[in-house]
Amino acid sequence: MATYKAPLRDMKFVYRELFDGDALTSLPGYADFSADVVDAVLEEAAKISQEVLFPLNRSGDEEGRHFENGVVRTPKGFKEAYDQFTAGGWTGLGADPEFGGQGAPKALNMLVEEMICSANMAFGMYPGLTHGAYNALKLYGTDEQKQTYLPKFTDGTWSGTMCLTEPQCGTDLGLVRTKAEPQADGSYNLTGTKIFISAGEHDLTQNIVHLVLARMPDAPPGIKGISLFICPKFLPKPDGSPGARNGASCGAIEQKMGIKASATCVINFDGAKGWLVGEKNKGMRAMFAMMNTARLGVGVQGLGLSEVSYQGGLLYARERLQGRSLKGTVSPEKPADSLIVHPDVRKNLLTMKALTEGMRALVMWVSTSQDKAEKSATEAERTEHDDLIQFLTPVVKAFGTDIGFDNANLGVQIFGGHGYIREHGMEQFVRDARITQIYEGTNGIQALDLVGRKMTAHYGRYMRAFFHPVQAFIEQNAADPAMEEIVTELAKGFGRLQQAVGQIAQKGMSNPNEAGAGASDLLKLLSYVSVGFMWARMAKLALGKQNDDPTGFYKGKIKTAKFYMHKLMPITGALLSSIMAGGETIMDMEDELFDAGLAA
C-alpha cells in the first residue's frame, strides 16, 4: 500500500512563507522565477514524480539492472521515463542558461529533488550524479571543458559520475593508487580500478563522463598528491558528438541490499584518456565541490524516503481496522477501530511527521542560503550565508539520512506483518534508505567533519552563523505567552548544545579521542536543536495565521511543533549525558578483549 502524493502545500509553505523564496527574484538571474512560475514548476514536478517515476519504483526494485559483457541495462520503463524526464527539461532546471539550463534557484531545485527521491530514489541517482559533475566542472573546468560537457549534462544526453573509491581506500583518499601518466598532447593515460561507482554504466544516455581522482608520477604522497581528471566513456568528436570508445569500462556491478535499479559499478581504467580538471595535485579541492553538493543531495534522499514512508504509514493507519480505542469504541458501525486511534501508532506517525517537515524546513534554510551565498551583492553577505551552509551540511547529510532510515522503519512498524511483506512496498524504503547513511561520507565521518573542521574553522565563525540566530530568536520570543511553551523547550535544547560544545572543545584539546568519542552524539544533538529551531520558527508563523485557516494547516503546524518540543527535544538531554560521560569507556577497552568471549 505504498503511496505518494507530492506534499505541495508544505513545500510552498517552507519556500514562500517561512523563507520568503519569492524574494529570491531580486537576486541576479532569478527574476523570472515569480510565484506563479514556482508553482507551475512544483506542480509539473509532482506530476512526473507521481505518474511516471513512482509507478516504476517497485518494478525497478524487483527487476533490478542487468549486466552482460560490460553493458548495463536499466529496468523496464526507465529509458522511456528518462527520455520523458529530459524532454521536460528537468536535468537542466538548476543549470546555468549559458549552457542551456533554466537557471532555477537552488531552493526550488531542492524541492524537485525531494519529489524525485520520494517517488523513485534509484532513478534519481542517474541525473543526480550528473548534477554533481556539472558543479565541479563549472567551478574548476577550463572554458573548453565547460563548452564540451556542460551543455550535454544540462540537456541530459550525457551523464556524469564521481570516481573516488578504490578497493583499498574509501574515506582515506590519500591511499588512491589510480595512475595518471602525462602524454605529449596534454592528456593523461589513466590506469586503475574504482569501485562503488553509482551510475557508472547504463543505457540512459549517449555518453557517460567520469570525474576521476588519480595520482601523477611525481605527485607527493597522501591527499596532497591527488589530481582530478575528466574521462569520458566515448571520446568527444570535434563536433561534440560521441566518438571512439575510451579505455574506461565496467567490470562488474554490485549485488546490493537496496536501490537495486541503480547500477553501482566497478570501473576499470586501462590507459583511458583523461584531461586534468583544475590544478595539478589540487584534485581534492575540486572533488569536494562535487561532494558537498552530493552530501546535501543525499540528505534530501533521506528526506524523500521519510516523506513517502510517512504517507504509506498514514494511509494504512487510517484504513486498517484493528482493536478498539483504549477510551472506548470510536467507530461502532465497524468491526474494529482504525489503527490511528492507538497512542503508539499516533506517536509513530507524529514522530515521522515532525522529523520530516522539520527537516524539509532545514533543507530549505540551507538551500536559500546557497542561493544567497552565490548571488548576494556583497562579499560579507555571501560569506555569512556560506558559513551557515558549511556548518549545517553535516547535519543535513547525517540527520536527513538517519530520519529517512528510522522513519522507513516506523512505516514498516505501523504496517505490522504486512510491512515486512514485499507486496506492500514499505520494506523497500528501509533497504533503499540504509545506504544513504553510508555513502558520500558515512555519518560518523560527518560527525568528525563537524568536530574537527566546522566547529574550529575561522575561530568558530561557521558555528556562530548558526548559534547567533538561534540565540536571537530565543531572546526575542521568550516573553511571548503564545510562544513560551515552545521557546522554553528550544532554550533547554540549545543550552545543552552549548554545554556539549564546550565539553568537547575543552576535552578534545588535550585528548583528540575525547572529541572523536563524542562527535556522533554532538552531531545528533545539534541536529535535534536545528530541527527544533525550524519548528519554533514555523510555530511562530502559524500562530499568526491560524485564525484564517479553513484547512487546519497552521493548526497542525502548531500542534506538531509542541509534539516535537515535548517528545523529541528531550532526547538532547540523553545525548548531553553521554557526551559528558567522556570517551574513557570507549577507548579503555584493550583490542584483544573485543573477541575474548569467542575463545573456547
Active site residues: 440
CA 226 to CA 145: how far, in whole Å? Answer: 20
141 Cα distance to chain centroid: 25
Phi, psi angles (nearest 5°) of residue 260:
-70, -20
Phi, psi angles (nearest 5°) of residue 236:
-65, 140
In three-state form (DSSP H/G/I as H, E/B as E, the rest C), the secondary structure along 248-294 is EEEEEECCCCCCCCCCEEEEEEEEEEEEEECCCCCHHHHHHHHHHHH
Q: How far apart are the first and last CA of the chain?
A: 49
CA dihedral 419, 422, 426, 427 (to 10 degrees): 90
499 Cα distance to chain centroid: 28
CA 314 to CA 426: how far, in whole Å? Answer: 12
How many Cα neighbours within 13 Å face the side chain of 475? 6
Question: Between β-strands 264-277 and 188-198, what pairing exists: parallel, antiparallel or unpaired?
Answer: antiparallel
Report which secondary-structure segment, H or E, holds 557: helix 553-563
Instruction: Indicate if the alpha-carbon torsion angle 528, 529, 535, 538 is positive or negative.
Output: negative
Report which secondary-structure segment, H or E, holds 230: strand 227-232
Cell digits for 528?
535535534
Task: Judge contact between 342 and 556, C-beta under 8 A.
Answer: no
28 Cα distance to chain centroid: 26
Q: How many CB atoms lie within 10 A of CB 274?
A: 26
> What does the DSSP 8-state code read for residue 153?
H
Q: How many CB atoms lie within 10 A of CB 592?
A: 7
> What does the DSSP 8-state code read for residue 77?
T
Helices (H), 13-141: 35-48, 57-63, 78-87, 106-140
Q: Which residues pair with 248 in a beta bridge?
A: 269
